[in-house]
Amino acid sequence: METMTVERVIKAPINEVFAWLTTTTNYTRSPLVLRCTLTRHGEGTPYGVGAVRSHLWLMGGSANASRTTTRPTPPSTSWSAACRLPGTSSAA
């Protein structure tokens, strides 16, 4: 398993930035994301712990599903993502 940590300072109110980042459908505003869907609601809120998001990225045509692993509250949240590249089996 690989771990990737991404950090970026955005000069905007933290609650607005956090709301944008944790709402999957916003990702299609990027030219790199073709499709994003919330496939399962989380505990307490749509993007709470246990929420599952499905993404299709333009880069390499990769698809991934991510599950929220910590309660999403500013300034951070965590996801566990499983990626599959085209032409590969989903079985390990």
What are the tens digits of pLDDT across the range 24-61?
Answer: 888 888 888 888 888 999 998 888 888 898 888 776 66
C-beta of residue 51 within 8 angstroms of C-beta of residue 65: no
The angle subtended at Cα 54 by Cα 48 and Cα 57, nearest 5°, is: 130
pTM of the model: 0.64
Residues 6+ apart with CB under 8 A from 5: none
CA distance 11 to 53: 26
- Identify residue 91 by its one-letter amino acid code: A
